[in-house]
Structure 1
């Protein structure tokens, strides 16, 4: 079996790398096309993945670049002769369908990494307009699968499989490291958020960042006004070099909360950071599963927005607490409640950890992907 994967970045997409690496172990001849300049290229080559450096992200706003991309992708498909093409991003999917519709009979799969484009009718219908009988979908949460069914895609063309993680990465760190680093008193509760900072997309009508940083800052202010003794910990730097937005967030937090909020920037010692938190919060406006997976795998009591694929993992009152997105007062009330019931939160987090280990084991999910390939190729 020979599969060509399409990525729009070589800087992130660790979830795609894990999947491709496991597929190689299953005996699949894996090829990947991705842009140059990032560490993912070497990691792919080290994993036995045939690597082709090219950028197939759809050139929104630069239509004159589309024709060369079409020619390049057609040439690559002819050279590799894959049994199936697997795209992991909306942009690469649009390019794939534009280039190969009516040109190649190779089945095409779009594994949907997040639901954002499906939340806007213009973009969801634009994606549908380019699809034909050679196209299949792998939703990575139930919300996404149900949305495609609502859009009229037959059930036998929409699959469900989560992007897996390496479970060995999630081992308990030193609980005291973070508190000592920040010099916080032993009775100060640490409420943490681990996420990149995504600047608002004005063309989508967004006024706040996608991950909900501003909402958590507002909620922390409400908690402080109610006498809750806590410090907010924000881990993660600006995505796509949005330095200006990072600066605005830091200034907003200082204005609202002063020294009761700390920004730690991009960090690699996630185990120690999560282990030091009393409570993890994920207030995203749109999300697949997001950071809730990490905090529950670390056994940290978790609050998350009730959006996208998060309810696949976080069941309210069972594995954590769900709150409506974009609602700082409700988020503040839930933070206050959770901090008063941390033992119950820890018990729920352990239940959540067991669920996460079953659903998101990369070895299991990659076998699931292999089985999906087999089904598609059998009936194509």
Structure 2
């Protein structure tokens, strides 16, 4: 079986790399068409993936289409597998007369939440298009918009469950010079600036909501501190500065640790972790659950697939700092058995999101499509 994957970046999207690496181990001949200016290129090659250089651009779409057509002619794949909206649109335009099956594995629901971008996805599709949602919300959205169920599959983007619970304790408290009785509420996420063309006024990950919630909680419990782990993503440095300034004007109970590599040590210091995203697939919830940390997430996108309310974690409505603050207070006041929630969450995701299992499900989807 020969599959051509379409990826728009060789800088990020390591989840696509992990999936392709495992598919190659399963005997799939994996090719990828992607820009070759990023640090992940050598990792793709080392994983047995054959790399074909291309530049994806809507501004220079004719050139992008020509490049893709040449790659398809050279590779002659059984299936074409796209991972982004941009690569999918270019694939459909460039290969409008090509009848082989092509997959759009949807990495997140953001474009489906916009009427215009959702319609572009649906309007450009043809009979040989198939969708693989990476959360249940995505699949239900496609089905409710008229896509037949037999053309929709579900497969999560898996990860390497390499993090082990750390035996280090007190690292954050020592670094920030906080007392031993400090209750640390964590948010582990890169800072993504608002997409104003989608009507967003706050960051995609909900940093401002987190700051507002910690402000409320710390007024009742002065020993509560919020800890933001993760710096600005890409060109969002200006937004990152704006978030820090916002926190400075709201409270002195929120700290920023920036991008770190000692994540397990930091998680070990947290009372619970919050994922207040406005739009999300599974986000960082898989990571916090895998490390057995009590998890609160917004009820958006794929979060409910793994943060099952009052079973593996707690769900709150998005863009609602007051509700989030009250939920944190209830956790502090022992309304929930956080240890039990964390244990159940860990047991769920360590199997469900293991990349070996998720890649195997993709190969099964390939077999179903080709048969």
**TM above 0.5, one fold?**
yes
Distance change in 2, residues 1:173/1:294 (3 Å): farther
Counterpart Cα distance in 2 of 1:306 and 1:93:
27
**Higher helix content, 1 or 2:** 1
Given that residues 9 and 34 in structure 2 are in contact (C-alpha distance below 8 angstroms), is that contact kept between their aligned partners in structure 1? yes
Which of 329, 337, 342 aligns to 2:330? It is 337
Aligned twin of 2:36? 36
Query: Is residue 163 from structure 1 mapped to residue 119 from structure 2 by the alignment?
Result: no
- Listed one character per residue, the Cα deviations across residues 69-123 of structure 1 (whole Å, up to 9, x for unaligned) are 1100000000111111111111111111111011x22211000000011111111
TM-score using structure 1 length: 0.95
**Which has the higher mean CA deviation after the structures are superposed, 349-358 or 165-174?**
165-174
Aligned twin of 1:292? 285
Q: Secondary structure at the match of 1:207?
A: coil
Q: Secondary structure at the match of 2:337?
A: helix
- Listed one character per residue, the Cα deviations across residues 219-238 of structure 1 (whole Å, up to 9, x for unaligned) are 11111222342111111111
Aligned twin of 1:353? 346
Aligned twin of 2:273? 280
Which of 164, 167, 176 aligns to 2:170? It is 176
- Listed one character per residue, the Cα deviations across residues 282-339 of structure 1 (whole Å, up to 9, x for unaligned) are 0000011111111110101111001111001111111111100000000000111112
Given that residues 302 and 321 in structure 1 are in contact (C-alpha distance below 8 angstroms), is that contact kept between their aligned partners in structure 2? yes
Aligned twin of 2:185? 191
Given that residues 218 and 225 in structure 2 are in contact (C-alpha distance below 8 angstroms), is that contact kept between their aligned partners in structure 1? no
The gaps in structure 2 that reach 5 residues or longer are none
Which of 300, 305, 316 aligns to 1:307? It is 300
How do 1:20-59 and structure 2 match up within 5 A?
A: 20-56=20-56, 58-59=57-58
**Which has the higher mean CA deviation after the structures are superposed, 178-187 or 8-17?**
178-187
The gaps in structure 1 that reach 5 residues or longer are none
Aligned twin of 1:214? 208
Deviation at 1:177, TM superposition (A): 2.1
Aligned twin of 2:3? 3
- How many residue pairs get aligned? The number is 371
Counterpart Cα distance in 1 of 2:351 and 2:67:
40
Deviation at 1:52, TM superposition (A): 1.6
Given that residues 184 and 225 in structure 2 are in contact (C-alpha distance below 8 angstroms), is that contact kept between their aligned partners in structure 1? yes
- Listed one character per residue, the Cα deviations across residues 247-283 of structure 1 (whole Å, up to 9, x for unaligned) are 100000111112x111111111111111111110000
Given that residues 116 and 286 in structure 1 are in contact (C-alpha distance below 8 angstroms), is that contact kept between their aligned partners in structure 2? yes
How do 1:64-103 and structure 2 match up within 5 A?
A: 65-102=60-97
Deviation at 1:55, TM superposition (A): 2.1
Given that residues 163 and 291 in structure 2 are in contact (C-alpha distance below 8 angstroms), is that contact kept between their aligned partners in structure 1? no
Given that residues 306 and 325 in structure 1 are in contact (C-alpha distance below 8 angstroms), is that contact kept between their aligned partners in structure 2? yes
* Structure 1 vs Structure 2 CA RMSD: 1.3
Query: Is residue 240 from structure 1 mapped to residue 234 from structure 2 by the alignment?
Result: yes
Deviation at 1:51, TM superposition (A): 1.0
Counterpart Cα distance in 1 of 2:297 and 2:61:
39
Counterpart Cα distance in 2 of 1:36 and 1:253:
38
Query: Is residue 153 from structure 1 mapped to residue 152 from structure 2 by the alignment?
Result: no
TM-score using structure 2 length: 0.97
Counterpart Cα distance in 2 of 1:346 and 1:304:
17
Given that residues 140 and 288 in structure 1 are in contact (C-alpha distance below 8 angstroms), is that contact kept between their aligned partners in structure 2? yes
Counterpart Cα distance in 1 of 2:137 and 2:164:
26
Given that residues 8 and 34 in structure 2 are in contact (C-alpha distance below 8 angstroms), is that contact kept between their aligned partners in structure 1? yes
- Listed one character per residue, the Cα deviations across residues 198-247 of structure 1 (whole Å, up to 9, x for unaligned) are 10111111000010000000011111222342111111111222111011
Given that residues 330 and 336 in structure 2 are in contact (C-alpha distance below 8 angstroms), is that contact kept between their aligned partners in structure 1? no
Aligned twin of 2:137? 143
